[in-house]
Structure formats: C-alpha cells, structure tokens
Amino acid sequence: MAGLAVARVAGAALRPTDLIAGVAPGDFAHIIEWVAGAVLVTAIGGLLALRLLARRSVSVHVALVALVCVIVAMITIGEIATIMLSPGDREVMLELMGISGLASLVASFFVGRSIGRASRALLASVRQVGESGIYTPPDIALPAELEGLSRGLAEANGKLGEARAREQALEASRRELVAWVSHDLRTPLAGLQAMAEALEDQVVTDPREVSHYHSQIRVETERLAVMIEDLFELSKIHAGALRLSQRVVGLEDLIAEVVASAEPVARAKRVRLTGSAVRGMPVLIDSAEFGRAVRNLMINAIRHTPPSGTIEVLGEIQSGMACVSVADECGGIPPGDLPRVFDVAFRGESARTPDPSGGAGLGLSIARGIVEAHSGEITVCNTGPGCQFLITLPLARRAPSAVSRPAPSRGGGGGAGGGGPGAPPRAGKRDAPPPG
C-alpha cells in the first residue's frame, strides 16, 4: 500500500506540464511504471516476510520494515537518477543513498534492540509473579506503551492480591466456623443423648427429676434451634440470597418494639435497659430483618454487661443520617479484638464454653450483614465503662432540622430517657429496672 501511494504521488507530481526540459514524456512514463512495479513487489515481499516472522522478536520486525523502506527509496531514486543525472552525479547519488540506507538499518537495529530489551524485562517481571505472587515493575525505562502495560499489570496484581487475601481470610473464617460450630453442636447433643438414654433406661424415676430432664431437653432443643437458625441466616447473607421486604417505617417505633422484646432478658440478668429516640426518622428498611440486627446488638450487650449495669439504646439523627447506638457497661473490648468483633463465630475468648443464652457467636456477624444489606454501616468503639455499637442508615427523606441534635452524654444527671425543659421530643422510651 505504501508503494502504491508513492507511485500515485510520483504520477501526480510528474505531470506533462511539469516535465524537466530534456526528458521525454516516455521516459517519465517508464520511470513511473518501473518504480510502481518495484515498489509493489517490494511491499508484497515485506508483508510476506512479516507474516513469516510474526513470532520473531520485535527488533527483527523493525529491521525488516526499515529494510523495505530503504529498498523502495533506493529503487525510486536510482531509476530517476539513471535517466536524469550524468554518470558521475548518478554514482554520487547512489553512494549517498547507500550510506543513508545503511544508517537507517543501523538505527532500526538499535531501536529494535531497545524495544526487545524492554519487553524481555517486562516478561521477566511478569514471570516473577508466579513465583513470589508480587509484581515488581522493571527497573529500566520502558516505552510509553509498555509503561502503560506495566502500570496495568501492577494494578491488576494489587487487586488480585487483595482478592487472594480476602479469600484466605474467608477460608480461615470458614474453617474456624466449622470447628467452633461442631463443638457447640456436639455439647448439647451429647447432653440430649445422655438425658434421653437415662429416661429410656429408667435410670431416673423420680417425677421431679424426670420433669427436670424434660425441661432441660426442651431448653437444649431451643438452643440448637437458635444456632441452626443463625447459621441459616448467615449462609443467606454470605450467598447474597437475603431477600428484603423494605418499606418506610419510623425508626423510633422499631427501637421501641425491639427494646420491649429484650426487656425480659435484661430483667432476668438484672440489667437496666433504657431506650429512646427522636421523632421524625423515616428509614427504608425490612422491619423484621433490621429489628433482628438491633436485637442481636442488645442481646450481646446484655450478655456481657454485669448485673446492676445499664444498657442505653439511642436513636437520633447525625449529619443527615439515622443512627442507632447500643452502649453497654461490659468493661470495654481489648483493642486487638476490635477489628474482629464482627467476624464469624468470634467470641473474644479461646475457650468455647457453652453459652446458656444459646448463641454461637454469630449474632454480630448477622447484624453486620443485615445492616450492610440495607446500605448502612455498623461500627464499634470503646467508650466510658463499656463499648458502643453504632448503626448508621440513610434517611428515607430529609428530616426536619428541629429534631436533629447531638448525642447526649452518658452518665449525665438526666439519664438516658430524661431531658429538661426544651428537650426534643422522644418516642419509644422503655425502662426495665432491675428487680428489687
């Protein structure tokens, strides 16, 4: 194609009106025919050579392109010089063309060698990824295209490394979950088997002991049912199969309902549970699932708060977001355990002592999955005599600025549900004092 273009240009440039004096029109036609044929043959030969050498080094390709260009130029100028120049001038012209062609070939050799060296360095860096798993860019200057490719490889390797780390952490979490849940299931099953065998063999015949065994079997069965339900919920969250029936509800009403449902558990533990929320917090949520997330936080707080302690559940608006906080008096979480609080089956202790409340360490993981499914965020931090779990959700619509306020300080004279004159209205207040 390049040869044909040259021939067209030559034909356009050598119009009869532009002929140099002393050169017959027939000679120009001969030059055009000869140059066009030679260029066409050379171009076809170059293309065939490139196809045959397609798997060779880039330096070979560059040298071949330069060679084709030099041959075409020498044929064109040589034919014109033969007709238009004297023998002495023709020899000088051909010598100059040979020198320039040789210089072009040498330059193409060095250019191809440089590109080949850069590509080999890039290939060596890529091969190291298979051995070390880390991509290290070549320490030599690369052409712009190869430099862009190197940056792309570095970015891809970084993302693959992050994905590999997440996969390894997930696999470790799964193995830990299987081991812990197997232990937690084995303990109640062993107790159920022992009690069933005792009743079957009539080892226990006293009516009161038999009734106690029946009650214990029911308790252990309910505990197993809770564990299995938690496992099923967690599997749906991890598989992305959690189906939400979302509607706009008032977050203050939901907090009131959840606090009321957790009151008996707090009363049995002799823990004081208070709940309050500002009005005007419409959120788009699945009431059942989101209520379960908040309830899991409350049950976790009740479990770790000592008797006569206080748990405060507060709903408010901060920075245009609906916030639900659960603050307890558990004594705080060790800083090293804070990043793992929401991990599957994490309890903050190495011993897997059976939990009388029936949990398997999945409640916080389920809460995080549910909150994130609602496009929310859940965090934990140590504050005061315990820790605080905070859920943030986007509001369904802009809330009135009159109800937006900062969180009240804990331990103040007014208490969690108090407030002096002019305090913003609150809804859903619940207070479960410890029994006397």
If you write DSSP's letter for every residue of 114-137 in order, what string do you get?
HHHHHHHHHHHHHHHHHHHS----
Characterize the bridge pairing of strands 282-285 and 321-327: unpaired
Report pLDDT digits (tens) over 172-225.
877 877 777 777 778 778 888 888 888 888 888 888 888 888 988 988 888 888
CA distances (Å), 113 to each of 15, 64, 291, in order?
Answer: 43, 13, 68
How many other C-beta atoms can be found within 10 angstroms of the C-beta atom of residue 34? 17
pLDDT of residue 423: 38
Kindly report, as residue ranges, where domains of CATH 3.30.565.10 are found in the chain.
247-432
Q: What are phi and psi of 278, to 5 degrees?
A: -75, 155
pLDDT the model gives residue 377:
94
Residue 191, judged by CB atoms within 10 A of its CB (0-12, 13-18, 19+), counts as: middle
Residue 349: its pLDDT value, please?
A: 55
CB 289 within 8 A of CB 244: yes
Q: Does domain 169-238 have CATH number 1.10.287.130?
A: yes
DSSP symbols for 332-394: ---GGGGGGTTSTT--SSSS-PPPTT---S-HHHHHHHHHHHTT-EEEEEEETTEEEEEEEEE
Domain with CATH 1.10.287.130 in the chain: 169-238
Q: What is the pLDDT of residues 354-364, one digit of tens each?
A: 455 545 578 88
| Half-sphere exposure (Cβ direction) of 109: Cα atoms closer than 13 Å | 6
pLDDT in 10s for each residue of the chain, 436 residues:
444 443 443 444 444 444 444 556 666 676 777 777 777 877 788 778 777 777 777 777 777 788 878 787 777 777 777 777 777 777 787 788 778 878 877 888 788 778 888 888 888 888 888 777 788 888 888 888 888 888 888 888 888 888 888 888 778 877 877 777 777 778 778 888 888 888 888 888 888 888 888 988 988 888 888 888 888 888 888 777 888 889 999 988 999 999 999 999 899 899 999 888 888 889 999 999 999 999 999 999 998 899 999 999 999 998 889 999 999 998 888 888 888 888 776 766 544 444 555 455 788 888 999 999 999 999 999 988 899 999 999 988 644 443 333 333 343 333 333 333 333 333 444 344 344 3
The DSSP secondary structure of 30-93, one letter per residue, reads HHHHHHHHHHHHHHHHHHHHHHHTTTS-HHHHHHHHHHHHHHHHHHHHHHHHHHHS-HHHHHHH
Residue 387's pLDDT is what? 93
Record: fold of 247-432: Heat Shock Protein 90 (3.30.565)
Max CA distance (Å), the chain: 137
Query: In the prediction, which pLDDT does 259 show?
Result: 92
